[in-house]
Amino acid sequence: MNPSKRRSWAEPFKIKMVEPLKMLKREERQKCLEEAGYNTFLLRSEDVYIDLLTDSGTNAMSDWQWAGMMTGDEAYAGSKNYYNLEQAVQHYYGYKYLVPTHQGRGAEHIISQILIKPGTFVPGNMYFTTTRLHQELAGGTFVDVIVDEAHDPANLHPFKGNVDLNKLDALVKKVGADKIPYITIGVTVNMAGGQPVSMANLKEVRAYCQKHGIRVVLDATRAIENAHFIRTREKGYGNTSLAAILREMCSYSDAATMSGKKDLLVNIGGFLALNEWDVFEEARNMVVVYEGLHTYGGLAGRDMEAMARGLVEAVSEDHMRARVGQVEYVGEKLIEAGIPVVRPIGGHAVFLDAKAFLPHLKQVQFPAQTLAAELYLESGIRSMERGIVSAGRNKETGDHYYPKLELVRLTFPRRVYTQAHCDVLIESVEAVYENRTKIKGLKMVYEPKYLRFFQARFERE
Ligand SMILES: *Cc1c(COP(=O)(O)O)cnc(C)c1O
């Protein structure tokens, strides 16, 4: 398209409350970074200028959601907000039963404990940290069945989140379908760069799994962003509403785990949604032990109301166009500047390719961790490592996993930053890129046992 002809999307909202930002001097940032052990998770939010650590729970709620907060029914049992949420989930996702949880991992814990027996295998289209850990803690072994293209940051496949049916079939042949309780399909795939799964692929996987008696569980955390990509990239969906696409996507699965902190425009909340009564019964029993009564699952009534209303707003085409449009804006400008990023640009984040950015560093020198630290030092922008630190260790060999992708994630909170913030970000990344040859690697000096990326500490080499 001729860029001068392009019509801008602009934010489909105006701002009525602001939160001032603080900007530190470079020496102050250096001190903060050392105190945080070169781990952006350990920085204080106050010391951050533009916070792109995550899109999880960092969303700005609308006036309608805040109004809903005031209608919170804080009854211990049977809160009206639970029924509102149940109705919204049934309507938009199409599942029959709802179990609210405090956030996504609460739902992952419950479904993993119910369906996974020790010695079984759980295929998935690339792992997600908490999902895989809950599967492993339940005694399962995760097996990656994503298409090869997902591991290549330069490949332009429009649906890099797709499941490779041959890989799935090879697993079934090797271990037997009875050893596979379910497949997890992430829509979109966070760890691959926010890459979507096509409707055609969901259909194919469903048909294959039905034949072999394997359940399909969606990680629906960013399913509405995925629906946007199906709408814009997959033949035959250009005029279909996001809501209809979402329903169809979910119709090819038996259950979904959900982190409301992403798509659903809230700061806390999640759920497990199911179609099978028996599994629902067990989940409803378990949620009482680990989260709270089955009509609140660790959430306040007001949180459930905000999530129900957030869902209505999230399926609006204007919202999603601006949401993904902002991410694409940054991605395209960085590509124009010659910065190595994962392509195509995903739905919730732009991923810098740290291996290509800092080719002089070996993977054990933590190039992505280093780059995230450097970007904070340059301009107070907080990002996150998604590479060898996040991948953790192989529990058998004790060695690091060595993921092919070594990325820094610039993640965009929904409705929080403006295009001017985006321009500052683009300039800052360019400034780090200009000085890249002088950047030294890191060594890990403290390593926690689980999900080490959250709390690990580093020093400069
Ligand atoms: C955030 C996330 C989760 C976990 O949800 P929480 O609400 O953080 O517990 C699971 N899967 C994906 C893809 C996510 O992005």
Q: Which of 105, 142, 409, 453 to mutate to test the pocket of ligand 1 (most atoms within 8 A of CB)?
A: 105
Answer yes or no: are the C-beta atoms of 81 and 271 closer than 8 Å: no
Please indicate whether residue 226, judged by its CB atom, sits closer than 6 Å to ligand 1. Answer: no
> How much distance in Å is there from the Cα of 104 to the middle of ligand 1?
5
Q: Is the pLDDT of residue 409 over 80?
A: yes
User: Is 262 a residue of the active site?
Assistant: yes
- Angle in degrees, CA 153, 156, 158, rounded to 5: 115
User: Is 41 a residue of the active site?
Assistant: no
Neighbouring CB atoms inside 10 A of 346's CB total 29
Please indicate whether residue 56, judged by its CB atom, sits closer than 6 Å to ligand 1. Answer: yes
The catalytic residue among 40, 54, 120, 129 is: 129
**Residue having the nearest C-alpha atom to atom 5 of ligand 1:** 104
What average pLDDT score do residues 145-173 get? 95
**Residue having the nearest C-alpha atom to atom 3 of ligand 1:** 104
> How much distance in Å is there from the Cα of 136 to the middle of ligand 1?
16
Q: Is 138 helix (H, G, I), strand (E, B) or coil?
A: coil
> How much distance in Å is there from the Cα of 221 to the middle of ligand 1?
6
Q: Is the pLDDT of residue 194 over 80?
A: yes
Q: Is the pLDDT of residue 7 over 80?
A: no
pLDDT in tens, 339-392: 999 999 999 999 999 999 999 999 999 999 999 999 999 999 999 999 999 989
- Check residues 293 and 9 and name the one with the higher pLDDT: 293
User: Is 159 a residue of the active site?
Assistant: no
- Measure Cα distances from 329 to 10, 168, 177 in Å: 11, 35, 44
111: which 2 tokens? 């479904």
Q: Which of 55, 259, 290, 409 to mutate to test the pocket of ligand 1 (most atoms within 8 A of CB)?
A: 259
What average pLDDT score do residues 167-183 get? 98
Answer yes or no: are the C-beta atoms of 269 and 262 closer than 8 Å: no
175: which 2 tokens? 């271990």
pLDDT confidence of residue 4: 59
CATH class as words, domain 26-55+317-460: alpha beta
> How much distance in Å is there from the Cα of 250 to the middle of ligand 1?
18
- Measure Cα distances from 322 to 132, 231, 312 in Å: 31, 14, 16
Q: Is the pLDDT of residue 255 over 70?
A: yes
The catalytic residue among 29, 231, 262, 409 is: 262
In this structure, of 36-40, 309-313, 367-371, 451-455, the range with the lowest mean pLDDT score is: 451-455
> How much distance in Å is there from the Cα of 445 to the middle of ligand 1?
27
Nearest to 368 by CA among 127, 153, 63, 68: 153
Which residues sit opposite 273 in a β-bridge? Answer: 98, 256
Under the banding of pLDDT at 50, 70 and 90, the label for residue 52 is very high
> How much distance in Å is there from the Cα of 232 to the middle of ligand 1?
25
Q: How far apart are the first and last CA of the chain?
A: 46
Q: Is the pLDDT of residue 432 over 60?
A: yes
**Residue having the nearest C-alpha atom to atom 6 of ligand 1:** 104
Q: Is 247 helix (H, G, I), strand (E, B) or coil?
A: helix
Please indicate whether residue 100, judged by its CB atom, sits closer than 6 Å to ligand 1. Answer: no
175-190 CB burial, b ≥16 within 10 A, e <16: beeebbbbbbbbbbbb
Neighbouring CB atoms inside 10 A of 243's CB total 19
User: Is 76 a residue of the active site?
Assistant: yes
Domain boundaries of the chain, sorted by first residue? 26-55+317-460, 63-314
**Residue having the nearest C-alpha atom to atom 10 of ligand 1:** 104
What average pLDDT score do residues 296-310 get? 98
> How much distance in Å is there from the Cα of 438 to the middle of ligand 1?
35
Q: Which of 58, 110, 129, 221 to mutate to test the pocket of ligand 1 (most atoms within 8 A of CB)?
A: 221
Residue type, 284: R
pLDDT confidence of residue 21: 95
pLDDT confidence of residue 151: 87
User: Is 16 a residue of the active site?
Assistant: no
User: Is 453 a residue of the active site?
Assistant: yes
Ligand 1: which atom is nearest the Cα of residue 189?
A: 13
Mean pLDDT of the chain: 96
Under the banding of pLDDT at 50, 70 and 90, the label for residue 3 is low
Under the banding of pLDDT at 50, 70 and 90, the label for residue 231 is very high
**Residue having the nearest C-alpha atom to atom 12 of ligand 1:** 221
Q: Give the Cα separation of 214 and 183 in Å (integer).
A: 7
Residue 346, Ramachandran bin (φ over 0: left; ψ between -120 and 50: alpha; else beta): beta
Answer yes or no: are the C-beta atoms of 282 and 244 closer than 8 Å: no
> Any idea which fold 63-314 has?
Aspartate Aminotransferase; domain 2 (3.40.640)
User: Is 128 a residue of the active site?
Assistant: yes
